[in-house]
Amino acid sequence: MVDVIDKVEHGLLTRHRWLVAIGAILIQMSLGAIYAWGVFTGELTDKNGEFGFTATQTQWIFSVGLASFAAMMLIAGKAVADIGPRPVAIAGGILLGTGYGLAGFFGQHFWVQVLCIGVLGGAGIGLAYVVPIAVGVRWFPDKKGLMTGFAVAGFGFGALLWVQLAGDWGHLIENYGVLNTFLIYSVIFGILVHIGGLLMTYPPDGWKPEGWNPPEAQAQQEATHAFTPSTMLARPQFYVLWLSFVFLALAGLMLIGINKLYGRDALIESGAFTDLAAAGAAASTAYAVAFALSNGLGRIGWGVIADRIGWRRSMMIMAVTQSVLMIAFYYFGGSLVALYVFLALTGFNFGGNFALFPLATANWFGVKNLGINYGLMFSAYGIGGIVGPIMAGMFKDAGSGEGLSVWLAPFLIAGTLCLVAGILVSTAKEPRLEAIAEPVPA
């Protein structure tokens, strides 16, 4: 019976492989919940409200979620290899929904939210995240960059959707409160990931798109780039990519942590606004719209660019332009128009990380073990996810009442990290599997 179902399913997907892309977007939209966390922090930190959390406590929930996300990616890759992509994706949705559901029932206390939203929710995101990437590149060997972009684009778009549903569009927090919004989201996340997960299956062995034949160079590359996790970890190229990912993720996440306060202060100092609350609201709206939307578009856009000019050249351009933008942002981001422009451009580049690094991992180390290998690569994001928000929190504390100049340091740090990442990527040489001495059986 299972074989019959598999044949019917494979027949459907081989004729309509874009269904895999739709499933990927449904999954990733739900996983984007982690970037929507900021919409809850206002109510959580209201001293006269139900919770009374400090700003640092809300950052801890976010950081724990990012760390749990990255840590579970290490387990998820092996789970996909052992039991297949579909059950792993569905299990991730159940875990994510359960975390938000428990927070909805018992989340009045800080440590409950750390455990439910941070640990459980983050783990669910990490469990499901790798599945659309690992599945997508096998269904789209002719459009790896585009499919990788689609596979992760929903993450950015989902963040925008959940922010707006809870806030300005749906007014869920205003009408139902934080905890009930958690409950509503728990049901939505579970359903969307389950539906998308049903479409997550590998193509039949030997399958390729109709009318497509891989170039000889690509066929040779795939034959010599089937790295196991251990052989990948033995190559210095892995650590070059990993460190570049740390730097780019840390820079982007630090920017995410400070841009609302920086935007508020820049609008005040430039004279664009005179009221602090109005300037803060304008900066928050600019972030929610420009950064979140372009973050999703950047995942698709850089994937398309990589299909045309290669992932390495794309990553170098992305890193260098992001470096310039980070520094220019501080000096020229004082008007509302400039704020939208810089948030859109930096968001577009930040989103590119999540299309280009899985693509780089697939191209250098092969698609056979991509689930496990990219899980290891993605641990870099966990480091950036811990250090970036903490550094942002330090600058927030230091910046209280100190004016715009306090924000120069984080922008310079972020710009420098991006430039170093671009240099690292440009100097690394492509690894070759046959260069590794494999153990000879006794």
d(CA 208, CA 101): 41
User: For position 189, which CATH number holds?
Assistant: 1.20.1250.20
Would you state the pLDDT for residue 207?
78
d(CA 359, CA 161): 26
Q: Is the pLDDT of residue 217 over 60?
A: no
DSSP single-letter state for residue 50: S
Q: Report how many domains make up the chain.
A: 2
Residues 64-71, mean pLDDT to the nearest whole number: 89
Q: Is the pLDDT of residue 399 over 60?
A: no
317 and 372, same domain (yes or no) = yes
Structure tokens at 267: 């609008």
20 and 151, same domain (yes or no) = yes
C-alpha distance from residue 236 to each of 75, 298, 316 (Å): 23, 28, 18
* Contact assessment for residue 240 and residue 123, using Cβ atoms and an 8 Å cutoff: no
**Domain membership flag for residue 13:** yes
45 and 102, same domain (yes or no) = yes
CB atoms within 10 A of CB 309: 11
254 and 171, same domain (yes or no) = no
Query: Which has more pLDDT, 405 or 102?
Result: 102
* Contact assessment for residue 156 and residue 397, using Cβ atoms and an 8 Å cutoff: no
**Domain membership flag for residue 322:** yes
**Domain membership flag for residue 210:** no
CB atoms within 10 A of CB 220: 11
* Helical packing angle, 408-427 and 236-269, nearest 10°: 150
Would you state the pLDDT for residue 225?
62
171 and 231, same domain (yes or no) = no
89 and 195, same domain (yes or no) = yes
106 and 254, same domain (yes or no) = no
Would you state the pLDDT for residue 396?
67
Q: Is the pLDDT of residue 8 over 60?
A: no
138 and 230, same domain (yes or no) = no
Would you state the pLDDT for residue 23?
94
Q: Tell me the pLDDT tens digit for each residue of 294-322.
A: 988 999 999 999 989 999 999 999 999 99
Q: Is the pLDDT of residue 164 over 90?
A: no
335-339, 351-355, 432-436: least confidently modelled range: 432-436
Spatial CA neighbour of 117 closest among 34, 28, 30, 27: 34
Provide the domain limits for residue 167. Answer: 9-203
Q: Is the pLDDT of residue 359 over 80?
A: yes
Domain boundary among 174, 203, 232: 203
99 and 180, same domain (yes or no) = yes
d(CA 43, CA 201): 41
d(CA 359, CA 406): 37
C-alpha distance from residue 156 to each of 33, 147, 152, 272, 364 (Å): 9, 15, 8, 29, 26
C-alpha distance from residue 116 to each of 98, 347, 432 (Å): 8, 28, 43
**Domain membership flag for residue 211:** no
Q: Tell me the pLDDT tens digit for each residue of 242-268.
A: 999 999 999 998 888 777 778 888 898
149 and 230, same domain (yes or no) = no
**Which H or E run contains 343?**
helix 336-365
Would you place residue 349 in the very low, low, confident or very high pLDDT band (cuts 50, 70, 90)? very high
198 and 228, same domain (yes or no) = no
